[in-house]
Amino acid sequence: MVRDIRADGKGRHTTTSRQLVLIPGGAVVIDTPGLRELTLWHAEDGLDRSFADVDAFAWECAFRDCHHAGEPGCAVRDAIEGGDLPEERFASYRKLEREIDFVARRRDKALELAERKRWKQIHKQNRERMRFRGR
Ligand SMILES: [Zn+2]
């Protein structure tokens, strides 16, 4: 049996600050205060799904890679200015986007290092094989 209640009566999994946990394979767990269960999703899809309202406007932007930072024909900025999308809502979107970006960059860095290590190993094995053949 798993004990999940601490002596002080607080649930062990009660989260006091928001955190991102990277799961091998590219998934990200976002643990938010007030959110009882962990939300697991693939980073970019998750952003779109959690902010379906922001995303719906983003589809209307003139540029597919619009950053909604003042580009011409930006439907997200229009929606904010027109009062259709609350500014705070967009700010939360931005914040999560930055967090995901940060985790993704860290993941890419880790992948790059692993790849470099792998190739080093391959070269080392090749050298050993060549030396063996040379005998
Ligand atoms: Zn835009």
Average pLDDT estimate for 93-116:
81
Distance 7 CA to ligand 1 centre (A): 50
Provide the pLDDT confidence category of residue 72 given band limits of 50, 70 and 90: very high
pLDDT, tens only, 85-97: 999 999 988 988 8
Distance of CA 30 from the midpoint of ligand 1 (Å): 25
Averaged pLDDT score across all residues of the chain: 75
Residue 60 to residues 27, 44, 63, Cα–Cα distance (Å): 28, 18, 8
What distance in angstroms lies between residue 92's CA and the mean position of ligand 1's atoms? 16
- Give the Å distance between the CA of 73 and the centre of ligand 1: 7
Helix (H) or strand (E) holding 31: strand 27-31
- In tens, the pLDDT along 32-64 reads 555 433 444 455 566 666 788 898 999 999 998
